[in-house]
Chain A
């Protein structure tokens, strides 16, 4: 429990939390909606992904350093009324919040601002899906059961029950908690534009970019992916969800690449 109690402490809390990064090796990702993609899928360059999601404690440092992102002050356009509602106060977590647990109820704009403040960025959908599909070592050399385990995990989460222990395992690249915790923001969450009418998506002539429903999905049996894509499709940048957090990423090269996106 952190308590705001003095100027000296405040100065020390202004520096961003240090995130440990893991290198996610390059690979190919078959995007869930296939329009305009080669059979081999999208090539994804190697990059670095934070080992863990951003925690309540990490995010607290951010809102202390950046008062415009505090709950009582944030612009409504940047974060909806659910923003940080599980915290006791603007800069007080409260006894019911675990400091080390992934922060939730943060909007995309807030996550984006945090990432910049930390000298990092958000992973793209392709980058995140690449990292999240690699559990060969954890599952004993095969990913056949990954889908079934994911469905079990997502079912358990919805009921509030503890997620299957299997999915708290480390990914092949050493990343923790990609599944079994909250959903995670990605930089281009709105690149997949679904109409919300999940049965009829996929008519290219309606002008939507990269739209594709069941008819165009790479793997209509991959319900876990359906669920993640459905979640992303339902979001707007200002949304703060109790079941949605984020983790940061950065390019493989230590330089900060790509200024504006």
Chain B
């Protein structure tokens, strides 16, 4: 019976339940991305024999673009491995005879020098063997570590190994294996032909391609991940680098649980975007509630739209309009309604009261200068043929109420002033009653006009009340 590590973390020792007998031997069934090896049902340790082949293959990086990848298992990323904490792993690294380069492997799940690199350094056409114990549960990167290490990684030599905790990973309906990585090609993104590795770009951390699962579109279109509404999905996400950190996000979904950096504890809930370190991993769980196509991206967004870091999860099933309704309405948007609204013309806030004579005339002079002089001129002489004179104006002086009405409501039509005909339009002026009284008092006692009485506020109010507003 295996020790359960769930309730006593301090004494967690995956090797403790071993007993003295030899472990049963199993050959590992690997799975190639995006597939994940089946969950482990075994409840006790075993000896797992893993055979991994390193091979240099030329294949598609993008449409029209080929690259000579250095691979584990002939694919980028290499296959996903799955063991259980406490297992003993007998690892065979087989370097295909057609390889030009020696290769080795550093598995981040290994506790030991080089992660196995020193023990697995293998010339082409040869095989190396070493063994290790899977001490810690978690999701770990493995990669080649032969000099020049950057180039071996940059050419595609990485993958993931999942070490399940003794009690197993919590069950989900579907599991997917996705690894982000970059490619540094001599040619620009999309330049056709067989591209070679560009060391300058790798040094400057300026890739031409940032992709999921080893090529542009590897997890999109016909290759999209597929699931159904109502299912819980876990993504085992790796980042082979060699340089960039990923801001992993699934558009339209939220990670219900995140095992940050691929650790063994689901330490975060309700996360939108999680960091996946170069040479690191993350596990994200989500429940699919609505159908649609959900886009996997590195949210350093130019990588997604211009360099290829874009994948798809296609979810089928019934809709749920409460969770997501889609577009409900499409209306014309006019912020002021159908007509142009006029702001009501507020009269001056000046107090309505009878002003004493000098105050009235002083005010009248101001109002005249501000409102009347423009047309009737400062001396009241008007402009012949255009604006009637106010100076010594018979028309003005003949009828005080009529004068008030002209200022208040404007005037159009032919009139005769001092024997001259005028046929223009005088606009109404938005003046307060006080101001009308003042300006008319001023004009009627200036410019040669000799009024004996001023225009009072009461006069103006009477005129305003007498005729309804048009």
Contacts and interface: CB of A to CB of B under 8 A. Distances in A.
Interface of A: 80, 82, 148, 151-152, 154-161, 183, 194-200, 213-214, 221, 223, 226-227, 229-231, 233-236, 239-243
A157 B197 CA distance: 13
B98 A242 contact: yes
Nearest to A85: B97
Main secondary structure of the interface of A (DSSP, over half): loop
B260 to A, nearest CB: 26
B415 interface: no
Interface in B227-245: none
B113 A230 contact: no
B203 interface: yes
A196 B148 CA distance: 11
A223 to B, nearest CB: 5
Nearest to A213: B147
A158 B147 contact: no
Interface in B136-194: 145-149, 151, 186, 194
24 contacts: A151-B199, A154-B100, A155-B196, A155-B197, A156-B194, A158-B70, A158-B101, A160-B58, A161-B194, A195-B118, A197-B117, A199-B114, A214-B147, A214-B149, A226-B147, A227-B147, A234-B102, A234-B121, A239-B126, A240-B125, A241-B124, A243-B98, A243-B99, A243-B100
B68 A230 contact: no
Contacts of A197: 113-114, 117-118, 121, 145
B122 interface: yes
Contact of A198 (B57, B146, B194): B146
Contacts of B117: 196-199
Interface in B108-138: 113-114, 117-126
Nearest to B150: A223
A154 B196 CA distance: 9
B88 interface: no
B100 A157 contact: yes
A100 B58 CA distance: 27
A158 B56 contact: yes
B58 A159 contact: yes
**Which of A196, A223, A226, A231: most chain B CB closer than 10 A?**
A196
Contacts of A196: 104, 114, 117-121, 146
B145 to A, nearest CB: 6
A194 B120 CA distance: 13
A152 B196 CA distance: 6
B99 to A, nearest CB: 7
B157 to A, nearest CB: 12
Given A213-B147, A242-B124, A243-B124, A159 B102 contact: no
Contact of A234 (B70, B119, B122): B122
Q: Which bracket fits the contact residues of B?
A: 35 or more
Contact of A159 (B56, B113, B118): B56
A160 B56 CA distance: 10
Given A158-B56, A158-B99, A199-B114, A230 B146 contact: yes
Contacts of B196: 151-152, 155-156
A222 to B, nearest CB: 9
B242 to A, nearest CB: 13
Contact of B194 (A159, A227, A235, A239): A159
Contacts of A194: 121, 147
Nearest to B98: A242
Contacts of B197: 151, 155
B102 A231 contact: yes
Contacts of A152: 186, 196
Contacts of B145: 197-199
Contacts of B124: 241-243
A73 B100 CA distance: 27
Nearest to B97: A242
Nearest to B118: A197
Nearest to A157: B100
B125 A82 contact: yes
Contacts of B99: 158, 243
Given A82-B97, A161-B194, 20 more contacts: A152-B196, A158-B68, A159-B68, A159-B194, A183-B100, A195-B118, A198-B149, A199-B117, A200-B113, A213-B147, A226-B148, A226-B151, A229-B147, A231-B100, A233-B121, A234-B121, A234-B146, A242-B125, A243-B98, A243-B124
A42 to B, nearest CB: 21
A241 B101 CA distance: 10
Contact of A155 (B68, B113, B123): B68
B65 to A, nearest CB: 13
A223 B68 contact: no
B148 A223 contact: yes
A196 B58 CA distance: 26
B68 A241 contact: no
Interface in B42-58: 56-58
Nearest to A182: B100
Contacts of A229: 147
Enumerate the 9 nearest inter-chain pairs by beta-carbon distance, A residue then B residue, closest first: A196-B121, A234-B102, A198-B147, A159-B58, A197-B114, A197-B118, A159-B68, A234-B123, A226-B148
Nearest to A223: B148
A230 B126 contact: no
A197 B122 CA distance: 11
A229 B104 CA distance: 15
A195 B121 CA distance: 8
A90 to B, nearest CB: 20
Nearest to B121: A196
Contacts of B122: 234
Contacts of A154: 100
A12 to B, nearest CB: 34
A110 to B, nearest CB: 15
Nearest to B151: A223
Interface string B53-83: 0001110000000001010000000000000
Nearest to B200: A148
Nearest to B124: A241
A55 B57 CA distance: 27
Contacts of B113: 197, 200
Contact of B147 (A157, A183, A230, A239): A230
Contacts of A223: 148, 151, 199
**Which of B104, B122, B147: most chain A CB closer than 10 A?**
B147
